[in-house]
Amino acid sequence: MSTASEPTVRVMHIDPEKDRGDFHAALAIREVVFIEEQSVPESIERDAEDARAWHVLAWDGPHAVGTGRLVELPETPEGESGHWGQVGRMAVLTAHRGRGLGRMILEHLEAEAGRRGLSGIKLHAQVHAFPFYEKMGYRRVGDEFMEAGIPHVECRKALA
Ligand code: COA
């Protein structure tokens, strides 16, 4: 078994149009994690944002094991300034959690947000996952709310 510190673990950008097989692998990971594991309705998990989002796929050797996406927001979050992005669909297959892959995925998405000159990132964190985002520098904004039948909190991180 490899570990996250070995070079076999990597995160790459994928284009839904050009890298169709890889995009289907990302959708399959989301299906396992969100639709099967968390009982999120497929009608919510699959949305129109996928077509315009910047997607990444995490690999452990030949196996696709995690994914996430970045979408540029049309409106600045209340109380902020500049152009912001939203991270979402962060998913790592169960057997691969706790090995630094989630961190690698989020860092890739943040790096892309930085290349685009975005002022910050917001996301809707499932409450159980908030400590993960907090470790990555995100702060909670506002009260808990329900989304897809799961308690969430809005989180934000300003980018330097
Ligand atoms: N609670 C507390 N700490 C957590 C955590 C959790 N649920 N998940 C990760 N962490 C911590 C890790 O211990 C690690 O801390 P360290 O740097 O001090 O060692 C750090 O966050 C980075 O963790 P990492 O191993 O990179 O996270 P991961 O690969 O397990 O991925 C998720 C994190 C949330 C993407 C993954 O658990 C997942 O896919 N969950 C199911 C889908 C989901 O809920 N997605 C989030 C939707 S908002």
Q: What end-to-end distance do the CA atoms of the chain give, in Å?
A: 37
Mean pLDDT of 14-37: 97
Q: What percent of the chain has pLDDT over 70?
A: 96
CB 46 within 8 A of CB 23: no
What pLDDT score was predicted for residue 103? 98
Please provide the average confidence, as pLDDT, over all residues in the chain.
95
Residue 97 CA to ligand 1 centre (angstroms): 7
Atom of ligand 1 nearest to the CA of 34: 42
Amino acid at 36: E
User: What is the C-alpha to C-alpha distance for residues 49 and 88, in angstroms, rounded to an integer?
Assistant: 10
CB 144 within 8 A of CB 128: no
Residue 41 CA to ligand 1 centre (angstroms): 22
* pTM for this model (two decimals): 0.95
Mean pLDDT of 49-55: 96
pLDDT for 3 beyond 70: no
Q: Which of 97, 108, 156 to mutate to test the pocket of ligand 1 (most atoms within 8 A of CB)?
A: 97
Q: Would you say the CB of residue 90 lies under 6 angstroms from ligand 1? A: yes
User: What is the C-alpha to C-alpha distance for residues 148 and 142, in angstroms, rounded to an integer?
Assistant: 18
pLDDT for 7 beyond 90: no
Atom of ligand 1 nearest to the CA of 98: 25
Query: pLDDT digit string (tens) for 108-143?
Result: 999 999 999 999 999 999 999 999 999 999 999 999
User: What is the C-alpha to C-alpha distance for residues 145 and 68, in angstroms, rounded to an integer?
Assistant: 22
